[in-house]
Chains A and B, each alone.
Chain A
Amino acid sequence: MTIQLNQIQPVAGTRILGVGGFRGEQVVDNEAIIGPIQSSDEWIRQRTGIATRRRANPETSILDMAVAAAGESLEAAGLTADDIDVVLVSTVTYFEQTPSLAARLADAIGATPAAAFDVSAACAGYCYGIGQADALVRSGQARNVLVVGVERMSDFIDPTDRSISFLLGDGAGAAVVGASDTPGIGPTVWGSDGSMAGHISQTTPWLELRQDQGEGVPARIAADTWPTLRQEGPSVFKWVISSIPEVARRAVAAAGLELADIDVFIPHQANMRIIDQLVKMLDLREDVVVGRDIADTGNTSAASIPLATERLLREGQARSGQVALQIGFGAGLAYAAQVVVLP
């Protein structure tokens, strides 16, 4: 006899119920960082569109940042921590292998016993998270999912690096995904290509550092051997412009829409040049609102899309009910896109 197990009944639709954000307290202008990279304010602005980036105070932990953004998103959603069944954190700058930052976050906001886990998809991480949250809620596995993209990139930079460090900022962005009679999250178009993993990567794997120390347990890792982030910028740029527009088009088509239906475009805030090129290549409507938070927040990896979203809504550039195309791309190389209705 075939055994039949109970399965959870799915719900009809999901949407983002609220978003929140936290930006590092310090405003760091280009003049403050150009010395070690022998650059100029003009060069950085021309190459990246960044005038300032936000960096966290030394005493502000990555957990503090996540808690702040999570609290704001819960408030915006009109929910409390008790309503959250899953806490999902996307980050590449939480420097503990275990336990997860998500478990610490769930405890810190009082969401225990919510399921909690971290996702490593770098700049695509928030859209990966929204895709998973949508699936968890729609399948009936969770009532509401808290998705947080948080990065303390300043722990992962080398002031002398000219490839990526000067772009990076610290921040956290959060969204609460819950059930909705009207579907508000389109299918996620996602993927990765690990053959290009070396294009954005940690300078030295942790285990190599351990071997470098010789016998015995090393007391500390010297500052000059601390792993940081590097990228092959032009190669990454080429990958983005040659593959990401198609991902965006597929996400729009999967949602049953046309590009002309998109009101708001919120790409990962990698570099203003990339944002401009994507806008141009996608041939978006002239009145489309584009997230350009990078100009004074910097590239905050997994936090950049929710931070840009939070800002567009807070400043009134975008409004609840508008249709937004969000797309993340970066280390992996990984990407994910979906169309969402703004909360």
Chain B
Amino acid sequence: MAYTEQEILTGLAEIVNEETGLPTDSVELEKSFTDDLDIDSLSMMTIVTQAEDKFGVTIPDDEVKNLVTVGDAVRFITGAQA
């Protein structure tokens, strides 16, 4: 069964919290991973890898640079479930 966008956001927030210690409620759709959440490229890859496991999707390396905001990631994962 596909995850809803809200479930993906909640799951991503947990992954970001685990990787960076940031509170889960700071992980909002419009936040930029780099500029707002101060997540560097290696941490981003950890988050991507864990998101792949959690949601059962594949996020190609070339796609990661397009995931600027949390909303970008939520939308990509939503689409990739299909």
Contacts and interface: CB of A to CB of B under 8 A. Distances in A.
Interface of A: 46-47, 232-235, 237-238, 241-242, 271, 273, 277
A317 to B, nearest CB: 26
Contacts of A241: 45-46, 49
A117 B64 CA distance: 41
Nearest to B53: A242
B67 interface: no
Given A47-B42, A273-B42, A234 B49 contact: no
B34 interface: no
Which of B40, B41, B44, B49 is most buried by chain A, counting CB atoms within 10 A of its CB?
B49
Interface in B16-64: 40-42, 44-46, 48-49, 52, 61, 64
- Of the four ranges (under 10, 10 to 19, 20 to 34, 35 or more), the interface on chain B belongs to 10 to 19
Contacts, number: 30
A165 to B, nearest CB: 17
Contacts of A271: 42
A274 to B, nearest CB: 8
Nearest to A46: B40
Contacts of B45: 234-235, 237-238, 241
Contact of A233 (B42, B46, B49, B64): B42
Contacts of A234: 41-42, 44-45, 61, 64
Nearest to A196: B61
A47 B42 CA distance: 8
Nearest to A238: B45
